[in-house]
Structure 1
Amino acid sequence: MDLQLVWFLLIAVLWAGYLVLEGFDFGVGVLVPVLARDERERRQVINTIGPVWDGNEVWLIVAGGATFAAFPEWYATLFSGFYLPLLAILLALIVRGVAFEYRGKVDSPAWRQRWDACLVVGSLLPALLWGVAFSDIVAGVPLDADHRFTGTLLTLLGPYALLGGLTTLGLFVLHGALFLQLRTLGPVRERARVLAGRLSVPVLVVAGAWALWTQLAHGEGWTWAAVGVAAAALAVVVVAVPRGREGVAFAATCAVVVSAVVLIFGSLFPDVMPSSTDPAHSLTIRNASSTHYTLVVMTWVAAALLPLVLAYQAWSLWVFRHRLSVEHIPVPAVPAPRAELGATTRGRSSAR
């Protein structure tokens, strides 16, 4: 068995899992101020992903660790050349995680608003930059003979990469709106349905443009199948949302994300980091991989642990599958006016 090919495919699976699961997390984070009108509704929206967002991020850690162990040359070139965008993603994810934990620590509307803003930025920035980064990888970046990145930050912000960023941002926001339809009741669910209906056609147009550009410029013959599946799935979303079939629509956006990953990795193979300077400088699954012994050990570890991870992920999603309503959220305590507090204190003193 060609273990280099196995790990290339496994890394693609890990990225697909991460983008499907974290994709609706990003979308929900962006939509907190859009769909929620008061503190109880904001907590309702946040609580839909509260039990699962940190588990979903484990897929990113595993994907990064697998890349480092299986293809260290790819990892080194990627993180040196894409240092600033990946640093921005990392900082955004840290701020986002802190926002989840800290927004309820102080009973102050101003405090919660600041952390809600951090949650929005921490969700929006990665949703945009992951599309930029993957588009740049597919298109190729300037590499020298030693596989070192020789471009600048502006090199990574071309039209194709920015279109990829808009595609992932729009797709994840739509994904999050459909997830909220599945997990909420009441006004939030209805607003999510209306928003998903408004987003479905623009996302179809933007994502379709990116997929066609990718296929025509970098794809293989068989990757047309991925483009076709993505287009059909987005068409299903457009039809299903007005009919209230949010489960079908959500499954369709999952299929779109998986198809996009198939298109990306299918367009790359056998490269992992194409060089736009000279194809001879490209990193491939052959010249970027670890030793055979390392891949053998990693394969046995993955075979033992991956089923457990998948089982736990499925179990956690099943446990927290129920819909939430504002009735599940306690009414925030309203502080008594200062004059009333003073009168109450004097009354207690007189009684004593």
Structure 2
Amino acid sequence: MDSLAVVLLAVFSGGYLVLAGADVGVGMLLPWLGRDERERRLVIASFAPFFLGNEVWLVAAAGLVGGGFPGLEHELLEGLYPLVVVLLIGWVVRDTGLWLRGRVDAVAWRGGCDAAVVAGSWALALAWGSVLGSVVAGGGLNVGSVLGLPLAVLFAWHGAGFARWRLPAGLAERAGRIPSRYGLSALVMAGAPVVAGSQVRWSEVVADGAGLTMTAVGTVVVLPLLLASQALVWWTFRGRVESPSYL
């Protein structure tokens, strides 16, 4: 059961980084990909149908950590508390910018919301990069923070590959100036939590008894539903974006 829970955590955390990492990366590149209001609306429309569903993977991963690996949850919250705070603030700022930008039809309002999307996306990428770096470094916050910037670049690289696939021809060519392919960057993002997880002493952080069993079984039940819903959304919006979204 321990091994199953570890594999499930790798699947959910890797799924989050692959899926949500793309919209975070696009948000980081928003000022460069979208040079005016019309272009920025198209850039945001490229990931608008996906970003809420992508965040479900993080919620599932957090639930699995809390129920199956309480020791890991304690280590992350205690040792990396500043990074967790930055991550949560970045998440709120980015999502707030996305939800509010379409509520007022004013240039200054949309510009402020776009700035929130960019700032929140960079905060998320730097925080996640630092968290992964800290785990790889054995829990060291200082060393992990140093690794945060190069690891955050992976998000931008991944976002460029996603934008190249989803944006209209002209904007896709701009994204194509970054040598990235979505499939390749997805493999790298999926491998990041596996590399970080190889440094964790799982036997010391795993839950005992019924708590682990219930968490693992519940996660196994949820996984097919999540995969099916994601597949439906991605199939529905598989083409290039043609017009602005509701955001």
Q: TM-score range by the shorter chain?
A: over 0.9
- Structure 1 runs, 4 residues or longer, greater than 4 Å off: none
Give the paired residue count: 245
Cα drift, residue 299 of structure 1: 2.6
**2:207 corresponds to which of 280, 290, 298:** 290
CA deviations over 1:71-130 (Å, ceiling 9, x no partner): 112212211221111011101101111111101111111111111111001101111121
**DSSP-derived class of the 1:95 partner:** helix
**DSSP-derived class of the 1:157 partner:** helix
1:207 counterpart residue number? none
Q: Distance in 2 between matches of 1:96 and 1:301?
A: 30
| 2:179 paired with 1:183 | no
Q: Distance in 1 between matches of 2:194 and 2:218?
A: 24
Cα drift, residue 300 of structure 1: 2.4
**2:182 corresponds to which of 240, 250, 256:** 250
CA deviations over 1:36-73 (Å, ceiling 9, x no partner): 12211111000111111011111111111100100112
CA contact (8 A) 2:132 2:192 kept: no
Cα drift, residue 163 of structure 1: 4.8
Q: Distance in 1 between matches of 2:28 and 2:171?
A: 14
**2:110 corresponds to which of 105, 109, 112:** 112
Q: Distance in 2 between matches of 1:79 and 1:163?
A: 19
**DSSP-derived class of the 2:102 partner:** coil
Q: Distance in 2 between matches of 1:306 and 1:102?
A: 31
Q: What is the TM-score normalised by the length of structure 2?
A: 0.93
CA contact (8 A) 2:90 2:121 kept: yes
Of the two structures, which has the highest relative contact order with CA contacts closer than 8 Å and spacing of 6 or more?
2
The residue identity in structure 2 corresponding to 1:88 is: V
Cα drift, residue 9 of structure 1: 2.0
Name structure 2 gaps, 5 residues minimum: none
2:235 counterpart residue number? 318
Q: Distance in 1 between matches of 2:229 and 2:206?
A: 30
Q: Distance in 2 between matches of 1:19 and 1:113?
A: 27
2:44 counterpart residue number? 46
**Percent of aligned pairs with the same amino acid:** 36
| 2:20 paired with 1:10 | no
Name structure 1 gaps, 5 residues minimum: 142-154, 198-236, 238-248, 272-284, 331-352
CA deviations over 1:6-48 (Å, ceiling 9, x no partner): 2122112211111111111111101111111221111100011
Q: Distance in 2 between matches of 1:261 and 1:113?
A: 34
Q: Distance in 1 between matches of 2:112 and 2:160?
A: 23
CA contact (8 A) 2:45 2:244 kept: no
Q: Distance in 1 between matches of 2:59 and 2:130?
A: 19
Q: What is the aligned-residue RMSD (CA, Å)?
A: 1.7
2:153 counterpart residue number? 170
The residue identity in structure 2 corresponding to 1:177 is: A
**2:136 corresponds to which of 130, 135, 138:** 138
Q: What is the TM-score normalised by the length of structure 1?
A: 0.66
1:263 counterpart residue number? 195
**DSSP-derived class of the 2:54 partner:** helix
1:157 counterpart residue number? 142
